[in-house]
Amino acid sequence: RQFLDVIHARLSNDYYATTADLLSDLRLIERSLRENRGMHVANGAVRKLIQKVRLFGLHLAPLDIREDARRFSAALTELFRAYGVSEDFAALPEPERQALLKREIAHSRPLFPAEPRFSAVTEQVIATWRMIARAHRRYGKECIDTVIASMTQHASDVLGMLLFACEVGVQDHVDLVPLFETVDDLKAAPQIMRELFQDEIYRAHLAARGMRQQIMLGYSDSNKDGGYLASNWSLYTAQERLAAVCAEYGVQLELFHGRGGSIGRGGGPTNSAILSAPPGTLHGRIKITEQGEVIAYRYSNPAIGRRHLHQVLNAVLIAYIGPRHEPPREAWRAAMETLSAAGERAYRALVYETAGFLDYWQQATPIDELANLPISSRPAKRRSGGFEGLRAIPWVFSWMQCRAIIPSWYGVGYALELFAEQGDEGLLREMYQGWRFFRTLIANVELDLAKADMGIAALYADLVADEALRKSIFSRIQEEHARACYWICRLTDQPELLAKAPVMQRSIARRNPYVDPLNFIQVALLRELRRLPESDPQRAAVLEAVLATINGIAAGMKTTG
C-alpha cells in the first residue's frame, strides 16, 4: 500500500518520463504479491492495471499528425529561398527536388531558425515538427507515431517529411505516411513508393522503423474526382500494386484506410470492406479512420461498440490467417475496368462537364450554409479556387441534406446498363455471386439508392432560379437514379431495393416520415434566407434556424459527410 501511494504521488507530479518507468514499478508490486501469497490480487486488479498501462501508456492513445503536402512544399520553398539553396524549390523538376532534399538530409547544418522570421504557413510547419519532438521528450515516443502528408503526388513529398523529421531528431521514431487521394494519385502510388524504396536514405529510415511502411488511401477525394465505381476500383488495384511493390523490396505494408462515415466517402460495414480487400494485401496490421457520426453510433453504446470491434477483429483474422480466396478472374477484372471507365465518364459528364452544374449544386443544396456550422475540424476548402479545392466532406454532406446523395451512386446505373447491352449481363451476375468485392460494392450502392428520395430532392431543385438549368440537370439525376435502381434490382434478383434486407428496408421506411418534415422546413428557410439581403437584421435568426434543420437531418439520416 505504501508503494502504491508512492506511485500515485509520482503520477501526480509527472515523475514518470515513459510508460516503461511506470510499468517497472507496477511489475515490482506484481512480483512482490506473487512471492508473498498475494496471487489472487496479482492475477486480478494488478494484472488488469498493467494491461491498461501497456495498452494506453501515459498518453491514452497515439496521435497522428496530418498536413497537406503542398503546405510542406511551400515551407521548404521559403526556407530554401531564404538560405540561397534554391530560388523556387516547388517549381523544380521532380528528380532535382529529390536530389536537393537528399543533400539536405545528409547535411548537418540547422534548417529551422531559432526565432520566427518566415510566413505564417512556414512557421506553423516548423512549430508542428518542434511540437512532435517536444511531445516525444515529455510523454514518450509512443504519443505521436505517425506523420501524414495528404495529397501526396511525388516521392519528394515524403522525402520533405523525412528532412523535417531529421531536423528535429524524430526520423527514427515516426512513420512517414503518404496519403494518396485522387484517382490519378492512386494510379501513380506504386511508382512513387518504388522510387522511395530504391533510395538508400529512405531505406535507412525504414530500417529504423522495422522495414514497415504505412500507406494511407483516400476514399473521399477519389470518389469526388471520379465517382463511386472509378474510386472503388482504383482503390482495389492500388492496394494490389502497392502490396506487390512492398513485397519486391522486402517492406511490410500497413494500409491505412481513410474511410468516412458515408458510402460516398468509403463508409459501409467495416468487416465487409476488410473481407472484400484484394488477396495478399493484409499483413496482420491495419488502420482505419473512424470519424464524425460513426464514432457516436458505433461506440456510444458499450455493447454495440464491443460487437463492432469483435466483427472487425473477426474479419482481420479471417483475412490474415483464414483460407486465401482466389484472386478475381481476368474476365471479372476486365469487366470492372469497363464499368469503372463508363461510370467515371457519366459522373464527370455531369459534375465537371455540364455547364452550370456548380450553380445548380450551390442553389439546390445548403452547401453555402454548411460553412457556418460550428462543427468542422477543417475549412470547407483546402485552398482558394474552384470545385477542385472543395473538401469531400461538404460535397457529400450537401447532397445528403437534399436527399439526392449522388456521390455514392451516380454513373453506376449507366455503367451497368451499357455493359449489359453489350451482351454481358450474365458476367455481371457471375461477378455478383462469386466476387466479394463486387458484391460489397453493389450492396453499398443499393443502400444509398434506397436512402435517396427524388421527391424530396425535387423540392430542393425548385430553389434553382434558372428553370432551364433546373429541369435539365434534375431530370438527368432522376433518370440515373431510376436506371441504377432498376439494374441493381435486376442484378440482385429483387423486386425492389433492400427486399433481401427487410430490417434495413423497414428502418428507412419508418425513419423517413420523421426526417421529411425537416427537409420541407429547410427548403422554406433556405428560400427565405437567400431572399434576405446581407444587412437584414432577421438574417442571423433565419440562418440559425437553417443550421438547426441541417443538424436534425444529419441526425435522422445518420450521416454528415
Catalytic residues: 224
Sequence letter at residue 405? I
d(CA 193, CA 182): 16
290: its cell numbers: 473512424
SS3 143: coil
d(CA 67, CA 526): 34
Place of cell 547535411: 107
> Which of 279, 324, 328 has the alpha carbon at shortest distance from 427?
328
d(CA 403, CA 396): 11
> Which of 195, 244, 194, 185 has the alpha carbon at shortest distance from 216?
185
193 half-sphere exposure, CB direction, 13 A CA radius: 32
d(CA 480, CA 413): 6
d(CA 139, CA 135): 6
281: its cell numbers: 494485401
Sequence letter at residue 183? V
- Give, as one character, the DSSP assignment of residue 91: G
Give kind and range of the element (H or E) at residue 65. strand 63-68
> Which of 361, 380, 362 has the alpha carbon at shortest distance from 371?
380
